[in-house]
Structure 1
Amino acid sequence: MGRSTLLSVLCALVLAGCAGSAPEAARSKDRLLRVAASVSTEPGAGAPAPGAAAEDAAHEHEHEHEHEDEVDEDGAEVDDGLDLPVDPGAGTRAHSPLAAMTEAQIEELLAKDPAALGPMSVGATNAGALFNGVRMPESDRWELVDPGHAWGTRETVDALDRAIAEVHRQFPGSPKLYIGHISARDGGRLSPHKSHQAGRDVDISYFLDARHRWYQRATAANLDRERTWAFVRALITETDVELILIDSSVQRLLKEHALKIGEDKDWLDEVFQYGSRKARPLIRHARGHANHIHIRFYSPVAQESAVRAYPLLVKRGAIKPTAQYVRHTAKKGQTLGSLARQYGTTVEAIKRANGLRSTAIQAKRVYNIPRPSSGPAAPPKHVVVPPRRLPPPRAAEASRPVRHEEAGPALGG
């Protein structure tokens, strides 16, 4: 079968797959698009370097399941801090325009003009919902891999736009980034992820070389360090980012580049998990993130609006009560059955809460245990946004980003 014929068949399968269930269609679409991209390159037009196809094939099985386990190398769930006590002095309490409205006014808008209430990010990113979500728009600066699952809060959409725009300001004519899943239109479970439920999580590609395609692994040979660091730096310094997941191998490349251009070492140790012993860095390692970046934003207005309106949203059936979980660290010898009996729930409920396909669990891994459904669910907690982690002023001035006119991207070293 010729290359063009094979590509046509694959595209037809992508379209056919979209007619099935949304999660399954999204999975199939991503896989088929990756295969289509790998066979669509004509000789002499940016064909993959020798050995690249073999490397991609070696990782293909791994790629099919990478989103399912946002865990570190020990198999423990990444601690995203969502259930840790918040120090009121550690940041700024979020404010919502709904705070000035009465419940009667909010309920009236819910009945007559719900869009006027604005976007709301309800609950935790791994057990939440999205109300009045905003779809990431089309742009010549990025490509939406799955537009049907690219819904977020207004703050998420604006933050992404701002960070990408900063790269284009520094490097005019930069290539597109690929934006994968954010959330479903109404949030909630989005297979195969554990998070991506409340409009604040984003999967996005690295800036790579001319052969760039979605879900391509970043390596020392193809990573555009300058543009990727400019993007990550903008996320940290110009947006309310809560967490960034990047494979440690890519963290090393970015941190080395940042040091090379004069960034402050102590600041970088606060930012990167790689090569640092600082507590709670913003950029952390998680398996499966060598081929995309996972970003989690704070959305202060959308989160605080959800806190204010939550009881009324549930009362009117605009959203279902968000799930409430106990986080349990499994011990050796425990089973899903024993956990279900201990917490008064079911094995199937625990499997759904953790995206498990089997009943096997691992000691020392943290699992979400759903609380019994009797009684009303607790409303979301108020959000406190910590200060942005800015570099020292002297370092910020000394490390002025190199403009595209002055030097090209450091692709290989």
Structure 2
Amino acid sequence: MGRSTLLSVLCALVLAGCAGSAPEAARSKDRLLRVAAAVSAEPSAGAPAPGAAAEEAADAHEHEDEVDEDGAEVDDGLELPVDPGAGTRAHSPLTAMTEAQIEELLAKDPAALGPMSVGATNAGALFNGVRMPESDRWELVDPGHAWGTRETIDALDRAIAEVHRQFPGSPKLYIGHISARDGGRLSPHKSHQAGRDVDISYFLDARHRWYQRATAANLDRERTWAFVRALITETDVELILIDSSVQRLLKEHALKIGEDKGWLDEVFQYGSRKPRPLIRHARGHANHIHIRFYSPVAQESAVRAYPLLVKRGAIKPTAQYVRHTAKKGQTLGSLARQYGTTVEAIKRANGLRSTAIQAKRVYNIPRPSSGPAAPPKHVVVPPRRLPPPRAAEASPPARHDEAGPAMGG
């Protein structure tokens, strides 16, 4: 089947899919549009045939394995450990309130408590979420799943605004999933459950489409690096997932324009042996960036209000998981028996469609609970990883032969 014929068939399927139930139609439409985008893209050297590329693009997000270059899973759901002495403990206005005051607001004016990011990003919830607004600087791919904390929305806006400050008239970015309105499981992701994860496009050339793969031929290095740099230096970003092939292009550009190599080695996983870089490789992220923000106020508010939210039924108790690295020969059945849970519970916790598992992969194993789940832990936000001044920005050294300032007499 020729490419034009295949595209025609896919477009017809998109239109036909809209006739079903709204949620199912939206899911089908999104998947088919991704396939169509992949088919219409020009294949790079050595790339699979168009049909294979289309299927790979469509499945990349649905099977978001997120593994690093050594084959170990990127910690995409659990919060990264932070030395309490090396960061700032988050604070919330709710800390000064009594439980009775919080409970009264929950009953009469819950919105007054503000947004709350509850639990881990792969096992959490969102309370009083804020929807990403419409803008001429971005396009919401799925507005119904573009809810986050106020801090997430503001941080994203700030980083995009910085690109437009440097490059007026920049094209729109595509913003994919953030979270559902109340958080929780959002297919096909493992994370995106607590209003702090964002999927967003790269800045590409004029033919840019959502879910289009970034390559050396189409990546707008200047704008994309300005965006990533603003995320790192002007927001409380916890993690950025970018394919190593794109990391290479951005790092080379950053070095070319005079960024400090030592700082870039702290930031990028590509070409560096530094522990815990902010930007990590993850399979399936050559066609979009995954950003996770800290939301200090929203997270700390959730810690304070969690027992009352559960008590009043505003949220369900957040799940708790054991992280298990699968060994050769293990099955979901053996893991279920080992941990006292069920095969179906493990499948749900990991977004698995079948019972097949892979050795050396890390899986979430639900803990059986005999009582309420433990409340979220207090959050500590590490210092931002700021670069040293660029050479052009540094103050010139003082010259000893220069005359001092004139003195009035």
> Do they superpose with TM above 0.5?
yes
Q: In structure 2, how many angstroms separate the alpha carbons of the residues matched to 1:407 and 1:190?
A: 66
Deviation, 1:45, is 25
Q: In structure 2, how many angstroms separate the alpha carbons of the residues matched to 1:411 and 1:231?
A: 46
Higher mean C-alpha deviation, range 341-350 or range 237-246: 341-350
Deviation, 1:71, is 2.2
Q: In structure 1, how many angstroms separate the alpha carbons of the residues matched to 2:315 and 2:157?
A: 28
What TM-score do the two structures reach when normalised by structure 1? 0.86
Deviation by residue 1:308-354 (Cα, 9 ceiling, x = unmatched) = 00000000000000000011112222221111111111111011111
Q: Is the 8 A contact 2:66 2:76 kept in 1?
A: no
Q: Is the 8 A contact 1:46 1:211 kept in 2?
A: no
Report the 3-state secondary structure (helix = DSSP H, G, I; strand = E; otherwise coil) of the residue aligned with 1:68: coil
Deviation, 1:72, is 2.4
Q: In structure 2, how many angstroms separate the alpha carbons of the residues matched to 1:241 and 1:247?
A: 18
Report the 3-state secondary structure (helix = DSSP H, G, I; strand = E; otherwise coil) of the residue aligned with 2:154: helix
Distance change in 2, residues 1:25/1:197 (3 Å) = farther
Q: Is the 8 A contact 1:208 1:218 kept in 2?
A: yes
Deviation by residue 1:233-254 (Cα, 9 ceiling, x = unmatched) = 0000000000000000000000
Q: In structure 2, how many angstroms separate the alpha carbons of the residues matched to 1:311 and 1:406?
A: 66
Q: In structure 2, how many angstroms separate the alpha carbons of the residues matched to 1:360 and 1:248?
A: 27
Distance change in 2, residues 1:284/1:321 (3 Å) = same
Pair 1:160-2:156 in alignment: yes
Report the 3-state secondary structure (helix = DSSP H, G, I; strand = E; otherwise coil) of the residue aligned with 2:7: helix
Deviation, 1:77, is 1.9
Deviation, 1:38, is 7.5
Higher mean C-alpha deviation, range 399-408 or range 345-354: 399-408
Q: Structure 2: where are the runs of 5+ without partners?
A: none
Q: In structure 2, how many angstroms separate the alpha carbons of the residues matched to 1:403 and 1:198?
A: 54
Distance change in 2, residues 1:253/1:144 (3 Å) = same
Deviation by residue 1:24-59 (Cα, 9 ceiling, x = unmatched) = 54442323334566899999999999999999999x
Q: Is the 8 A contact 1:41 1:47 kept in 2?
A: no
Q: Is the 8 A contact 2:76 2:122 kept in 1?
A: no
Q: Structure 1: where are the runs of 5+ without partners?
A: 59-63
Deviation by residue 1:118-173 (Cα, 9 ceiling, x = unmatched) = 00000000000000000000000000000000000000000000000000000000
Distance change in 2, residues 1:40/1:262 (3 Å) = closer
Higher mean C-alpha deviation, range 307-316 or range 68-77: 68-77
Q: Is the 8 A contact 1:122 1:128 kept in 2?
A: yes
Question: 2:16 maps to what in 1?
Answer: 16
Q: In structure 2, how many angstroms separate the alpha carbons of the residues matched to 1:409 and 1:274?
A: 49
Q: In structure 2, how many angstroms separate the alpha carbons of the residues matched to 1:411 and 1:190?
A: 69
Distance change in 2, residues 1:16/1:182 (3 Å) = farther
Q: In structure 1, how many angstroms separate the alpha carbons of the residues matched to 2:75 and 2:335?
A: 21
Deviation, 1:85, is 4.7
Report the 3-state secondary structure (helix = DSSP H, G, I; strand = E; otherwise coil) of the residue aligned with 2:155: helix
Q: In structure 1, how many angstroms separate the alpha carbons of the residues matched to 2:358 and 2:48?
A: 39
Deviation, 1:401, is 22
Distance change in 2, residues 1:44/1:70 (3 Å) = closer
Question: 1:2 maps to what in 2?
Answer: 2
Q: Is the 8 A contact 1:223 1:411 kept in 2?
A: no
Distance change in 2, residues 1:243/1:40 (3 Å) = closer
Deviation by residue 1:95-128 (Cα, 9 ceiling, x = unmatched) = 0000000000000000000000000000000000
Q: Is the 8 A contact 1:126 1:194 kept in 2?
A: yes
Among 217, 223, 227, the alignment partner of 1:221 is: 217
Q: Is the 8 A contact 2:114 2:298 kept in 1?
A: yes
Q: Is the 8 A contact 1:220 1:412 kept in 2?
A: no
Higher mean C-alpha deviation, range 148-157 or range 388-397: 388-397
Q: In structure 2, how many angstroms separate the alpha carbons of the residues matched to 1:176 and 1:66?
A: 25
Deviation, 1:81, is 8.1
Q: Is the 8 A contact 2:115 2:149 kept in 1?
A: yes
Count of aligned residue pairs for this structure pair = 408
**Percentage of matched positions with identical amino acids:** 97
Q: In structure 2, how many angstroms separate the alpha carbons of the residues matched to 1:383 and 1:15?
A: 46
Q: In structure 2, how many angstroms separate the alpha carbons of the residues matched to 1:393 and 1:167?
A: 19
Q: In structure 1, how many angstroms separate the alpha carbons of the residues matched to 2:23 and 2:377?
A: 29
Distance change in 2, residues 1:285/1:368 (3 Å) = same
Report the 3-state secondary structure (helix = DSSP H, G, I; strand = E; otherwise coil) of the residue aligned with 2:392: helix
Deviation, 1:84, is 5.6
Report the 3-state secondary structure (helix = DSSP H, G, I; strand = E; otherwise coil) of the residue aligned with 1:333: coil
Higher mean C-alpha deviation, range 13-22 or range 295-304: 13-22
Deviation, 1:411, is 53
Work out which of the two has the higher radius of gyration on C-alpha atoms and give 1 or 2: 2
Deviation, 1:86, is 3.5
Higher mean C-alpha deviation, range 116-125 or range 30-39: 30-39
Higher mean C-alpha deviation, range 110-119 or range 391-400: 391-400
Deviation by residue 1:195-226 (Cα, 9 ceiling, x = unmatched) = 00000000000000000000000000000000
Distance change in 2, residues 1:266/1:72 (3 Å) = same
Q: Is the 8 A contact 2:61 2:189 kept in 1?
A: no
Q: In structure 1, how many angstroms separate the alpha carbons of the residues matched to 2:46 and 2:398?
A: 26
Distance change in 2, residues 1:6/1:42 (3 Å) = same
Question: 1:56 maps to what in 2?
Answer: 56
Distance change in 2, residues 1:392/1:39 (3 Å) = closer
Question: 1:325 maps to what in 2?
Answer: 321
Higher mean C-alpha deviation, range 363-372 or range 182-191: 363-372
Q: In structure 1, how many angstroms separate the alpha carbons of the residues matched to 2:150 and 2:211?
A: 26
